């Protein structure tokens, strides 16, 4: 039996039953999912955190240098009972 206790409960119920148990691998997958609202909120929170902490400074790219790409790591954090605790987004460097 699955108890519904929040606005995430329909998704949680499907996650527990195995219907949508995979985290998106790309930003595009997250934006195409039915959890798009939760992913957007997590991404917005990460951008706010980055800006608040002055994580980087914009600078001109020196001649002959290449930029590093970045990508989103998107994960659902689960509670012990198998329901979704939160949606987490992290922006990371693609250093390869």
SS (H, E, C) 44-96: HHHHHHHHHCCCCCCCCCCCCCCCCEEEEEEEEEECCCCCEEEEEEEEEEECC
Q: Is residue 29 part of a domain?
A: yes
The pLDDT score that the predictor gives to residue 21 is 64
Q: Is the pTM of this model over 0.95?
A: no
Residue 75 has pLDDT above 60, yes or no: yes
Q: Is residue 45 part of a domain?
A: yes
Q: Is residue 10 part of a domain?
A: no
Number of domains in the chain: 1
Q: Is residue 42 part of a domain?
A: yes
Q: Is residue 86 part of a domain?
A: yes
Q: Is residue 11 part of a domain?
A: no
Q: Which residues does residue 92 pair with via DSSP β-bridges, in sequence order?
A: 71
Containing 38, the helix (H) or strand (E) segment is: helix 36-52
Q: Is residue 1 part of a domain?
A: no
Rounded average pLDDT over 12-27:
64
| 4 pLDDT tier (thresholds 50, 70, 90) | very low
Domain span at residue 82 reads 23-55+66-94
């Amino acid at each position: 039996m699955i108890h519904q206790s929040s606005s995430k409960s329909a998704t949680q119920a499907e996650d527990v039953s195995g219907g949508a148990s995979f985290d998106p691998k790309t930003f595009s997958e997250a934006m195409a999912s039915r959890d798009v609202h939760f992913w957007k909120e997590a991404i917005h929170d990460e951008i706010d955190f980055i800006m608040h902490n002055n994580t980087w400074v914009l600078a001109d790219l020196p001649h002959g240098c290449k930029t590093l790409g970045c990508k989103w790591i998107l994960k659902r954090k689960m509670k012990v009972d198998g329901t979704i605790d939160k949606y987490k987004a992290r922006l990371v460097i693609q250093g390869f």
